[in-house]
Amino acid sequence: MKCSFLIFLLSLFALLSCKKDKLEGDKEIFIGTWNWYKTTKINSLCDPPSFESELNPMSEDESFALRFYEKGMVEFYQNSEIIYRDRVVFFSFNTGSCQDPGYKDFAIYLNNDPEKLIQGCVSSDSITLIRDFPFPDPESNCENYTSYFVKQ
């Protein structure tokens, strides 16, 4: 019995000790649900002329959303279904690289994994992502996605 209880306590400690950043102070701006409303796709960057197209929930017949929690977790949704959930670990925040006034830039390692990076700019009512969600980074650097979300 003591062994089972000890294993339970060690498991609980391991679960709670995982690195994640609570969304406190200026980072509280993330807390809530953010709905995707469009993505700008730039094609043929490697072979000019390049052209731009817009993807949106109507053209793709898909909906996407992000939900950030104060405890430092984020959930990713497709068509109202959770597709994955990760811990939030900030690589950078508010270094001044967003050109629009009122926006703060960010880079987040999901589950503290540098291979799982989301980055962009955030304001009180919108997030712009320049990496990975809802459309994965392309294999080549010949196209680029910038996705826009609005706070619910």
- Does 7 map to a domain? no
In a domain, 127, yes or no: yes
pLDDT in tens, 10-37: 443 444 446 788 999 999 999 999 999 9
Q: pTM value?
A: 0.83
pLDDT at 4 over 80: no
- For 89-125, letters b (16+ CB in 10 Å) and e give bbeebbeeebeeeebbbbbbbbebeeeeebbbbbeee
- Classify residue 121: in a domain, yes or no: yes
pLDDT, tens digit (0-9, with 9 covering 90-100), for 71-88: 999 999 999 999 999 999
Above pLDDT 90, what percent of the chain?
65
The residue segments making up the domain with residue 92 are: 19-151
The domain tally of the chain equals 1
Please give the pLDDT value at position 15. 42
Tell me the C-alpha distance between 107 and 128, whole Å. Answer: 12
Supply the CATH number for residue 135's domain: 2.40.128
- pLDDT tier at 3 (50, 70, 90 boundaries)? low
Determine, yes or no, domain membership for 11.
no
SS3 104: strand
Is residue 98, in this structure, part of any structural domain at all? yes
Q: Evaluate whether residue 4 is within a structural domain.
A: no
